[in-house]
A and B are shown apart, each in its own frame.
Chain A
Amino acid sequence: MSFELIGKHEKDARASRDAIVTTLDELMAADPSVCYVDCDLMGCLNTKGLWKKYPDRALQAGIAEANAAGVCAGLAATGKKVFFHSFGTFSSRRCYDQIYMSAAYAGLSVRVLGSDAGVTAAFNGGTHMPLEDAGMYLSIPGATVIDACDYDQLYSITHGLADTEGVSYTRFVRKDVIQVYAPGAQFTIGKGAVLHASDKDVCTVICSGIMVDEALKAWEQLAAEGVSVRVIDMFTWKPLDQELVIAAAAETGCIVTAENHNVTCGLGAAVARCLAGSRPTPQEFVGVQDRFGQVGPQDFLMDEYGLRAADITAAVRRAVARKS
């Protein structure tokens, strides 16, 4: 893993989905067994070019996600490396049993891509807002679950997915994301990225996706007040980097998790389960507090659901106060 933080909190000019498009193009060019199946959302992923370029392997399955997931499993059974995309709601809820039984249970590898992570579904509203998608995939034995934060991370991870066996689920933002990492960053699936650490840290913020930039802003605010915290980008929710989590708990004494997802079944829950078994540690959960999604601009939704740097700093104070 190698990366450099940009630290400017500025939007990337590149749409993050294009990291996937470029990777798929590279993979499909290099390996004739790579297939990509979409459900009438190529326009949304910007892959219509791949549809033209690889007409036999970039496939439209229509608005029929359950069938598409089953088709992916069948393709995998013939040795194809399959990528499958729909909006996060539909590539999880709308085809869960097919992914669960026909793919995962049957030992077949399908790389599922779920776009419009959490509140970034914005104007498509509550029916299109996946807040439990990753949680559903966490429930599949052996699955790999990813919540990616920016273009370069997504680029590196998508390459890694090609060699990841079993079912994987990657949730991501389609367009506007804050550029967190400098180009060329490399990530290892299953390992957390430590973004800030010192021996004065009084708490660890474990986050992923759009919450990484919020956590970095929280780190700056707290640093200005003389409070030092550790920040970990835990883009792999499963398999969780347990060693890193336990070490952070041991060294900083309390944890805040921050996720663009329902706290009942996401990153926070995975971290809590890890710690409860080996090193019980006070933990505060920033994320969507068991609510449905709703329609509106992303900024409004981030305020509405408490997904801001200020929510993280407040949670850090609560967590620190709970240390015994």
Chain B
Amino acid sequence: MKQLNVKELNVLAARIRLETLRVIHSRGFGHVGGSVDLAEMLAVLYGAAMRFDPKDPRWPDRDWLVMSKGHAGPAAYAVFGLMGYYPMEEAYTLNHPHTRFPSHTDRLLTPGVDLTTGSLGQGASTAAGAALGNRLDGRDSRVYLVVGDGEADEGQVWEAFHFACAHKLDNLVVFLDMNGYQLDGSTAEILDHGNLPGKIAAFGLYTQQVDGHDVAAIYHALEAAHAHTGGPSCIVLNTCKGKGATFAETNHAHSSSPTEEQWQQALAAAEQALDAAMKA
């Protein structure tokens, strides 16, 4: 990992959040809540942890990102654009005809996307497969898997955890985005998980829980996850669905169709947050 530089990572997180909003604004509506809440995690991954080459997206020695909650595509498109996989403006074509930037991440369309997702739960298994494949090839590449707490309703997520533990995939790091909401409302009222981090730990993953909007906390948890051997790790992120998007932060909406005025407010607020991070 690169040395921890909190200010740098906070600036990157603010940029990711702003660009995520711009990407979705280009279509006018979309999955804002579950995209913007990943900004800090993605900043730590791409700003300090991951090995990647924007000029060679399929570089065999890269680390992998599997956005199993595929509807958070816009956050991935933001960070890939900022890292130079393509000019950022190109991603301002979200969901337009023949775009390379669809709602859900697609490995055949977007440079930087390692595995195709959209049907929730499936990325957990493909990530486990990729971790196993990299190990078979003798590579030390890591696979970072992002799962939603609603997504964790899917049995397939638990089948993948079971598999990853049984096969001792210590090159697999799971981020569980525990924002407490899914599509129809809160995870507690839809299908209560009970103690979700506890269940993940009981499956055998080395599990930590951190403030998902604190880059230093995420950084340190990642260091510990990397140091863990003998099986997969999980970092449970306590996040706020809609974090930093003025129209989604309090209602935690799954999908938002703000008015243009609300968009301008949200974009201005995100620009201010970026300014503040740079001045900090």
Using a CB–CB cutoff of 8 Å, the interface residues on chain A facing chain B are: 38, 40-44, 48, 51, 60-64, 66-67, 89-90, 93-94, 123-128, 294-297, 300, 304
- State whether A89 and B119 are in contact (beta carbons under 8 Å apart), knowing that A63-B150, A294-B102 are contacts in the complex: yes
> Would you call A63 and B151 a contact (CB within 8 A)?
yes
- Flag the segment in B11-19, B92-100, B213-221 that touches A: B92-100
What 0/1 readout, one digit per residue, does chain B (136-179) give for beta carbons within 8 Å of chain A? 00000000000000110111000000000000000000000000
Query: What's the minimum C-beta distance from B108 to chain A, rounded to whole angstroms?
Result: 10
Closest residue of chain B to A128 (Cβ to Cβ) is B118
Of A60, A67, A128, the residue contacting B190 (CB under 8 A) is: A60
Closest residue of chain B to A123 (Cβ to Cβ) is B95
Q: A64 to chain B: which residues have CB within 8 Å?
A: 153-155, 191
Of A42, A125, A126, A295, the residue contacting B184 (CB under 8 A) is: A42
> Would you call B120 and A125 a contact (CB within 8 A)?
no
> Would you call A127 and B119 a contact (CB within 8 A)?
yes
> Would you call B155 and A40 a contact (CB within 8 A)?
no
Give chain B's interface residue range (CB within 8 Å of chain A): 20 to 34
> Would you call B104 and A124 a contact (CB within 8 A)?
yes
> Would you call A62 and B103 a contact (CB within 8 A)?
no
> Would you call B103 and A295 a contact (CB within 8 A)?
yes
Is B20 an interface position by the 8 A CB rule?
no
Using a CB–CB cutoff of 8 Å, the interface residues on chain B facing chain A are: 27, 29-30, 70, 95-99, 102-104, 106, 116-121, 150-151, 153-155, 182-184, 189-191, 254
Give Cα distance in the complex from A260 to B235, angstroms: 43
Q: B97 to chain A: which residues have CB within 8 Å?
A: 296-297, 300, 304
- Please list the 6 inter-chain residue pairs (A to B) with the smallest Cβ-Cβ separation, ordered nearest first: A127-B118, A62-B191, A62-B153, A295-B102, A63-B153, A125-B102
Q: A44 to chain B: which residues have CB within 8 Å?
A: 183
Give Cα distance in the complex from A95 to B29, angstroms: 29
29 contacts between A and B (CB under 8 A): A40-B183, A40-B190, A41-B183, A42-B184, A43-B254, A48-B184, A61-B191, A62-B153, A62-B182, A63-B151, A63-B154, A63-B182, A63-B183, A64-B154, A64-B155, A123-B29, A123-B103, A125-B102, A125-B103, A125-B104, A127-B104, A127-B116, A128-B103, A128-B104, A294-B102, A295-B103, A296-B95, A296-B97, A304-B97
